[in-house]
A and B are shown apart, each in its own frame.
Chain A
Amino acid sequence: MISQLRQAGTLIGLVLIVVFFTVQLPETFLTARNLINVSQQISMLAVVAFAMTVVMVMTDFDLSVGSMASLAGIVAAVLFTADQPVWLAVVAALAVGVLGGVVNGVLVAVLGILPFVATLGTLTIYSGAAFWISDGKTIFGRDIPKGFSEFARGGVSLDAVGFAGVSLPYMTILALVVLAVVWVTLEHTTYGRRLYAIGGNAEAARLAGVRVRWLRLSAFAITGLGAAVAGLMYASRVASANPTQGAGLMLDAIAAVFLGMTMGKEGEPRALATLVGVLILGILDNGLTQMKVDSYVREMLVGTIVIAAVATSSIGRRA
């Protein structure tokens, strides 16, 4: 009973936040347009957080996702400036993400370096690489092809389902696709089940025939790919690439996964629970901006909420 309440607590928190903003902002908050906006605003964070969930299932970490996102955006933009086609730039950026993830995976799974240390190191390396490739410049303007930046502004019209003039952004759709892929992978494949087993007890999993090394490596590669996708989304959204632009995603992503973990039966991360975490962070940003709450107060509030949620859940767990 207590445990169910604890598990539902974060979800209840989300509902209360939504109710609160709906009451405070009756005109503007609970409108199709605003919710669509929110979905687009959080899409990049969501993709990074879903990708982060994959490694956190194994109780690992990837601190390099932010700089990996920046690097992927820069790689695509540099290829744009060299007049390469959009598809090639995108594929190259995604490949860089996978490669970066594989490097993390080798450091953690093969060399046995603690994920915190290994990815802290690669965070710096990827960030340096992004600066180096771009000469530290922001690449923007005519260098970024329309076809690429239009993606973040386009969407599928919802006229047909009764929301005239509203369209579901491609960014949102992409985030939902990533969610679906991560959810199926973690919950419904033997691969995901093995990742959870590694998180449960890596040594026991190894002795029970799980190829721990290979799985950890590949999970880091998946996280790298996700970070690259988010980096491209970010670059498309701001129609430019800057070597530091993804940096803020990492801590928010970890916070979102932690918020989600409060909903796990045994405190384990789950894809859908991460979505709840992302929604809480995104809706707070949107609603508090509309309520004109000072942005610094907003930051303190978000941090407090993350701690409160995790603390509540750990108190509930002990009881």
Chain B
Amino acid sequence: MKRLMLPLALAGFATAAPMALAETVAVITPFLAQPGTQAYVQAFQEDAATRGWEVNVIDTAGDMAAVISRIEDAVTQKVDAIVVNVDPAQVQAGLQTAADAGIPVIGMDAGADPLIVTNITSNGYAMAAETSVYVANRIEGKGKVVMFVFDAFPPVQIRGVVADAIFANFPDIEVLDRITPDVQDGGIADSRAKMEAVLAANPEPGSIAAVWAAWDQPALGALQAIEAAGRTGEGIVIVGMDANPQARDAIAQGGNFEASMAQDFVGIGKAAAEATARAMAKEEIKSKVTYVPTVLVTKANAAP
């Protein structure tokens, strides 16, 4: 009896058979929990709706092999295009399956790859350069800097590389610590704990000039640590990246958190939809990477 409930329950989710005419697009991501991903996926969906596509968004909750599996499923289901936001090197098997079936795959903040029609993204190198230089200029080229990085994730890793290079180019800037926070809790709490440890180890006022974070959560954590330690008055400059709402809020208040980089997620989503439309129309897209402009966010323009 109870077993019979299952198909009945499933039937509740069963949508009508796909309309024969509408194009079907599968968006497959392991990172839907992240605000940036949510923003461009949503923008993509809105744009797709105006074009009359049927969009199926699939989140594998961090599981990379499952991304391959879901690409295979989408191919079986004969979708018209697939959008992914993972490193193509890790899902080669799935990309090959799609290529064999002649289904175009568009990268949305993914990475360049021969099997991807084009990758729509922000220029991570340029973004990191902007915040790093912002820090260097604000501290007038000297002092100790704490870095928060995450080299396991390639798009964030490149930010760290650029920051490394820029700080190394200032003889009087010393990188005090290069911290990889535990991101399982979202990154704020552990970054705060790590920053508290650094503050404790460097009790002299002014001994820390700046905190450079490769994304916003560690910057927020560092800000909390500095506030809790009562050291907001030392002029420690904090910069993040991605300009998420919480970060914008902090920047707008004019505290230590001074700057972040805003990716144009909506723009990425829209550009991805545009590229998808062109790919489905069998139009040739020459560049394997399409950059969408980014903006430095400071107190002046932080209001969301």
* Interface residues of A, count at CB 8 A: 57
With a cutoff of 8 Å between Cβ atoms, the chain B residues found around residue A247 in the complex are 62
**Chain A at the B interface: SS class:** helix
Determine the chain B residues whose CB is within 8 A of the CB of A285 once the complex forms: 66, 69
Q: Which residue in B13, B74, B96, B157 is a CB contact (below 8 Å) of A293?
A: B13
Q: B63 an interface residue at 8 Å Cβ cutoff?
A: yes
CA distance A27 to B91 in the complex (A): 26
Residues on the A chain within 8 Å of B248, using CB: none
Asked if residues B13 and A138 are in contact (CB atoms below 8 Å), the reply is no
Q: Contact between A13 and B151 (Cβ–Cβ < 8 Å)?
A: no
Asked if A136 contacts B6 (CB within 8 A), the reply is no
Among the stretches A107-115, A198-206, A237-245, the one at the interface with B is A237-245
Which of A44, A137, A293, A294 is within 8 Å of B65, CB to CB? A44
Q: Is the CB of B58 within 8 A of A17?
A: no
Min CB distance A15 to B, Å, is: 9
Q: How many A-B residue pairs have CB under 8 A?
A: 135
Interface assignment of B3: CB less than 8 Å from any CB of chain A: yes
Cβ-neighbour of B61 out of A12, A239, A299 (below 8 A): A299
| Contact across chains for B91 and A238 when beta carbons are under 8 A apart | yes
State the CA gap A279–B203 with chains docked (Å): 58
CB distance A242 to B64 under 8 Å?
A: yes
When distances are taken between beta carbons in the complex, the residues of chain A under 8 Å from B6 are 13, 16-17, 20, 305, 308
CA A243 to CA B93, docked complex, whole Å: 20
Distance of A311 Cα from B227 Cα, bound (Å)? 50
Other A-B contacts than A31-B76, A41-B66, 13 sampled, CB-CB below 8 A, are A13-B3, A13-B6, A138-B152, A140-B89, A238-B90, A243-B152, A244-B62, A289-B58, A297-B13, A301-B9, A308-B2, A312-B2, A312-B3
Q: Supply 26 A–B pairs (Cβ within 8 Å), ascending by A.
A: A17-B6, A20-B7, A20-B10, A20-B11, A24-B10, A28-B76, A28-B77, A37-B72, A41-B65, A41-B66, A41-B69, A135-B151, A137-B151, A137-B152, A237-B68, A238-B64, A240-B90, A243-B152, A248-B61, A248-B62, A288-B10, A289-B56, A289-B77, A291-B13, A295-B58, A297-B13
Q: Which residues of B are in contact with A by a Cβ distance under 8 Å?
A: 2-7, 9-11, 13-15, 32, 56-66, 68-70, 72-74, 76-78, 87, 89-93, 96, 150-154, 157, 180
